[in-house]
Amino acid sequence: MGSSRLVGSNYHVDFAGLMRLYETNYAKLNALLPRQPEVGDKRTYQVQFQVYQINVLEITRYTTLVDVFQCDEAPTFPLPHMTVRLYHDARVAEVCASEKMRVTHARYDYPNKRMMQKDEKHQLNQFLGDWLTFCLKMGISREPLL
């Protein structure tokens, strides 16, 4: 399971597994974005009783940067605010920042000052994938998809 191996104190990143996760997240996220996104586009989704938003922050020739966050004022199960970069040439999407983390590394020594898990990057991207699956299966778009 997953794209990493935790064995005792040794941790090895499974880059092939992480890339598969990035590829599936790219496909799922593209299904929730407009066909021709523009900077400033916002898509709001209601998934059961929770409201989420995806905002397009930046578009370059090969990438799109989006923010994914929960709009509810007092959510029961809060979603971390994530910034995700889609790489169109490679067809992958990667969480590049979350909450107060401006950079996520593939591997962290443990213990560390911020108490990051050894496989924090994998966990964030797996969470994004699970959330996108939830949105695609249970979500209702509040705007028409163009």
CA atoms within 13 A on the CB side of 91: 6
Listed residue (98, 97, 94) closest to 25, CA to CA: 94
Global pTM reads: 0.77
Say what the pLDDT of residue 3 is.
Answer: 46
Query: How many beta carbons lie within 10 A of that of residue 113, not counting itself?
Result: 5
Domain residue ranges of the chain, discontinuous segments joined by +: 4-33+43-71+84-140
Q: What is the mean pLDDT of residues 140-146?
A: 62
The 10s digit of each residue's pLDDT in 100-135 is: 655 555 544 556 565 455 667 788 899 899 989 988
Alpha-carbon dihedral sign for residues 110, 115, 120, 126: positive
- Contacts for 94 with CB less than 8 Å, ≥ 6 apart: 22, 25, 84, 85, 87, 125
